Structure 1
């Protein structure tokens, strides 16, 4: 490891998805890089978010498959959930990924400095271990934390966050989830599969309200069928702890009872007390404001990841980190289209989307210019094999490109890659319809939807 006081081309503050992507790409472009991280490299996504939650969801899928094995002619008996073993499986996945990531830091010859960093100048980061790192460029990538609301005091026992939920040694019998966004519905889905009775309280009119309305409706139908209860358009009023658990009082006078309350009301940016505002970095409601190249108003200082306004997704952080490194290197990368970032909610069924939803497309192009089609997965062979229901919805401009792809179904997230190409390459329905889609796969449902939109449907019933 080189002398940390010798000066760097890039100093990255934060080792999560956006931070380490910046570091890796900058190192790959020949720059001398240091990265400051107070915990473990990999950040929330690897250790407390994306990876462990998806492992938990997969364990739930296995539980559901075991329960339903007789539908496939398989004799199996579901005997329950071994929480200790589930946690070991989850933690082993994380440990393997973490070990691989550590190896990449070594391979890229990046100086990793352990400690809490603070911006003390446009080119300097002071670490609480006594070191001060200087760099021609500083990249802020300090990530996010689980938010709460007044009246939702987190105690880690009866009122918990997603971080606590990932480390439970026993599953609750009944759980209340406050928040029907991505985090809330994913935990509701996983817990239900693992045998927990779940009830969601969401103040907005529908679950996953940021998604297309048809996707929300499909998920709500599926949740009702699975026995997951939810209250939409109703804000919580108070939480009362009792000897047996908790009560959540919601608008309208209803009271929901459970053993625990999971607070899933979003994530806030980690920017306070890190020297950002003192050094003149422009902040709005805790978020760092940047231009199209992710530069802050302070020359030489960039910001990436969850602290930048927009969707808080690991792959967005990866893309931003790569962009910043290439911009520093003078490669003039193209600005990132936020609508061109794929989004997946890993519930059962999964919800995946790309580009604009129908309402936003109508706002942008005019309602009279927007065409939509919904291809029902009932006509798709592989979806029938998987015993899943859902659809592929395409949103297109009349005589123009497809500007939105929305999908619901088991394992449908695996089709997001083609949806991303369609949107980002401004594909027309006729372009996609002319492609050969492998049979039998769920992927061909995208081709079927495009054929329907192009006016030449194949496996479509009236």
Structure 2
């Protein structure tokens, strides 16, 4: 399905007549368009420069399309497992044409809505690849767009490894999202969020999947107990993985790809998905020429997201830290309010929620147990795990998992970590608990609806407060 491309007269002003905008945003992804929308809402004049489609990676090549695939995978699993619930169904086949049409329709609806928002707030959009040419100007299509403030939000790209060329049977998430078939077998290089989500999708669609991860665990940035539970769940699903050994090389064969690890192990599959993270889009954009400090491609900023050069700020994936759309949204809002003089509170990075949308899901916010002991002292941390086996709705959904709470001894909860089907939907309350520095007793006093999985959060806090209901003390 083709996306609607707005006619130039809808957005683009060819002659700005020397206009100096309050904000010029370079990049129309999550961080960039959030800056533009909030800035315009605050009455500032805003120009937005984007060479691709508004919405950036998240809307077109990231969050939205991958989660659409994951939902289709969940539907496939439900059809396959219907007999467990007394509903006898058969799974005929996965029609990737139909799956992709559904995915593209979701993207198109959201894209149209975003275009409408941008237009309604009278944001001037310049369609083309921009470059920073002065502390107060961006050049696009040979035209100089001047702003009192510049916000850099040029996003990220799917990285590869040195010597590993993308093409043919070696793909990144960009190509994986456009596949018109279910591969027979896939090797996933990288066991982080992106690799784990695609591994989950393809296994549900019927492919043989093997993950290769150099670190000791899958989703290694999560609390170790979640990583281990995640590995057990993947093993039970038949997803193979090889941990703790580095990738050495890959060669394309007549019917796929041959992969070698440094310990001599070899693997063969139809496709190799390279999911080793995302790199910042900052090369050849004029940043360093204007004196902006770059480290490993990332733009260095202070806690107020200022680059230290003129009135130039940076947001989103080019700023070191979690590469998440909702972090970009928050940073964009922050910068717009900073420019407008509202003096917003700095964003607390540890309070940003994280979700891995696989089967099972992982939802987390705040400090892991290891990090909490490092920050607060080994003996000054309390931990509690609440098994979802004691939760009625989890039993109905036939999901296993647990909620792990990390608190400062006799103090607030500093980490909420969850694994199980649909636990990502619980992260909203988890982030309120952590960010508002709630004590277990505070949350235990709240009444949680029964039967819901959300109730498990309440039960976990009851237990941590010393008065468990459906759990042993």
TM over 0.5: yes
> What runs of 5+ residues in structure 1 fail to find an aligned partner?
none
1:243 deviation in Å?
Answer: 1.3
- The match for 1:207 among 215, 218, 224 is 218
* 2:154 paired with 1:130: no
SS of the residue aligned with 1:169?
coil
1:163 correspondence with 2:174: yes
Q: 1:92 aligns with which of 87, 105, 116?
A: 105
Aligned twin of 2:56: 43
Mapped to 2, the partners of 1:446 and 1:222 lie a distance apart of 21
Tell me if the contact between 1:288 and 1:296 (Cα under 8 Å) persists in the aligned partners.
yes
Q: Hey, what does 2:430 align to over in structure 1?
A: 419
Q: Residues 178-229 of structure 1, C-alpha deviation per residue, up to 9 Å, x if partnerless?
A: 0000000000001100111100000000000000001101110000000000
Q: Tell me how far apart the structure 1 counterparts of residues 436 and 472 of structure 2 sit (CA, whole Å).
A: 30
| Partner residue in 2 for 1:21 | 34
Q: 2: distance between equivalents of 1:386 and 1:120?
A: 55
Q: Find the counterpart in structure 1 of residue 116 from structure 2.
A: 103
Deviation at 1:252, TM superposition (A): 2.1
Mapped contact 1:151–1:239 kept (Cα < 8 A)? no
Q: Does 1:321 align with 2:332?
A: yes
Q: Deviations over 1:30-50 (max 9, x none)?
A: 000000000000000000000
Q: Which residue of 1 aligns with 2:457?
A: 446
Q: Are 1:147 and 2:147 counterparts?
A: no
User: Aligned residue for 1:279?
Assistant: 290
Structure 1: how far apart are the matches of 2:462 and 2:363? 20
2-structure distance, mates of 1:72, 1:170: 30
How far off its partner does 1:461 sit? 4.1
Q: Which residue of 2 aligns with 1:256?
A: 267
Contact conserved, 1:240 with 1:247, CA < 8 A, in 2?
yes
8 Å contact from structure 2 (residues 441, 462) kept in 1: yes
- Secondary structure in 1 matching 2:370: helix
Name the CA distance, whole Å, in 2 between partners of 1:347 and 1:233: 22
Q: Does 1:355 align with 2:362?
A: no
For 2:374 and 2:177, the matched residues in 1 are separated by 39
Alignment match of 1:187 (pick from 166, 178, 198)? 198
Query: Does the 8 Å contact 2:74/2:204 carry over to 1?
Result: yes
- Normalised to the residue count of structure 1, the TM-score between the two structures is 0.99
TM-score between both structures, scaled by the size of structure 2: 0.96
Structure 2, unaligned runs of 5 or more:
1-10
Q: CA deviation at 1:152?
A: 1.5
The superposition leaves residues 155-193 of structure 1 with CA deviations (integer Å, 9 ceiling, x where unpaired) of 1x2000000000011121000000000000000001100
What is the rounded CA distance, in whole Å, between the counterparts of 1:319 and 1:461 in structure 2?
Answer: 39
CA deviation after TM superposition for structure 1 residue 240, in Å: 1.8
Deviation for aligned residue 1:110: 0.3
Report the secondary structure of 1:451's partner residue. helix
Q: Within 5 A, what are the aligned runs for 1:377-416?
A: 377-416=388-427
Shift of 1:245: 0.9
1:324-365 deviations in whole A, cap 9, x for unaligned? 000001100001100010000001000010000000000000
Tell me the secondary structure at the aligned position of residue 219 of structure 2.
coil
Q: Tell me, yes or no, if structure 1 residue 373 matches structure 2 residue 384.
A: yes
User: Structure 2 CA distance, aligned partners of 1:346 and 1:135?
Assistant: 39
Q: How does 1:210-359 map to 2 (within 5 A)?
A: 210-359=221-370
Distance 1:347 1:394 in 2: 21
SS of 2:288's partner is coil
State the alpha-carbon separation in 2 of the partners of residues 103 and 209 from structure 1. Answer: 39
Q: Does the 8 Å CA contact 1:352/1:413 hold for their aligned counterparts?
A: yes
Paired with 1:350 and 1:368, the residues of 2 have a C-alpha distance of 30
User: C-alpha separation between the residues in 2 aligned to 1:452 and 1:348?
Assistant: 27
Task: Give the distance between the partners of 1:318 and 1:228, measured in 2 at CA.
Answer: 34
Tell me what 2:7 maps to.
none
Q: 1:114 aligns with which of 118, 124, 127?
A: 127
Q: Is the 8 A contact 2:94 2:182 kept in 1?
A: no
Aligned residues between the structures: 460
Task: Tell whether the 8 Å contact from 1:11 to 1:139 is kept in structure 2 after alignment.
Answer: yes
